[in-house]
Structure 1
């Protein structure tokens, strides 16, 4: 088990979720993919090892993992996709380029909010999200 998966399982347990082999395998799937993938892709992977597992179970776990900040999600081509959450503590605040074909991501180490803060000086900013979409070098 990798360090990111172990940390995710620890976070899960601290928040009252049971550590199960299925959840560990699902998290390992996302850690190995290291890109945005659909819930169906996760379901197809899990169904190979666990015939009879329901899509609803997978989807519910994915949303639980997002709520716990273990996975992050985005809408890509009209479908919700998920990926293992970046470790912001290790790489600092950043954003992503996301390939619309394969879901691969690339970190962008600057924040466009720096350009908007003076225009929003009288506002209290509570958060933001910035993503760039396109085709990666392998897909264009």
Structure 2
């Protein structure tokens, strides 16, 4: 009988040991599951944050593209104005030269005294006019003087 009790006692000890192992495994699985759930929540928050950041960057990119398109339009207008001005200058130049050559008694040649206008100067002046027209000119402050 003592042998049978001993075997039952051994079985009970093994069963308790197995139950303790299973309980520990269950706790480990629950802990791992909780950690996984928390990680999922963290990742979802990170995804939402990245979506907001992406939306903000997309909006910013769109604004930069619009600004770039505006600058390109202004540049094209400046180039057209520059070319038109250069063409007009070419048309006027012979008339000016002819007028100077008719006055033989003058010693100074007007074209020699006049500054040379190249396409860079014309382009810069046209760009300045375009930018002034686009952004407006700053008005000097008018101070009233007391009498």
Greater fraction of residues in helix: 2
TM-score, structure 1 normalization: 0.17
Greater fraction of residues in strand: 1
Larger radius of gyration: 2
Structure having greater relative contact order (Cα 8 Å, sep ≥ 6): 2
TM-score, structure 2 normalization: 0.17
